[in-house]
Amino acid sequence: MSTTISGTNGVTFPDSTSMQTGQQACKAWVNFNGTGTVAIRAGYNVSSITDNGTGDYTVNFTSALADADYAVTHAAGVKTIEWGIHLRHNSVVPTASAYRFHNVTPADSNVDTPFINITVYR
């Protein structure tokens, strides 16, 4: 079921059940500090972050996803790196309960950064 707001554009929004269970929904997100002692600033459906070493993190989901066929977006930053940070998929296969990744520089070196954001869609 969905809700339609009348108007010239007829915008339609999914209802709350569809937002939680539908494929268009963000299943998990987290904003965390990836330096020193890793700390979650805010998040949804993320129970913890595991620091596996420099720039190597695991996002642990509070409630497991339906499967591991999800999409991940990543944003991270630090002022000392000119072109920014990107995500490199870890050799560990993603699971329904966790996602492991590397935060890396343009030179492909792992790096800790103070701001890391991950969103998960399924």
The total domain count for the chain is 1
Establish if 115 belongs to a structural domain: yes
By residue range, what is the domain housing residue 40? 25-121
Question: What would the pLDDT profile of 30-49 be if each residue is shown by its tens digit?
Answer: 999 999 999 999 999 999 99
DSSP 3-state of 19: helix
What pTM, to 2 d.p., does this model score? 0.78
Which amino acid, one-letter code, is at 56? D
Parallel, antiparallel, or unpaired: how do β-strands 98-104 and 115-121 relate?
A: unpaired
Establish if 51 belongs to a structural domain: yes
Establish if 5 belongs to a structural domain: no
Establish if 95 belongs to a structural domain: yes
Question: What would the pLDDT profile of 99-112 be if each residue is shown by its tens digit?
Answer: 999 988 878 889 89
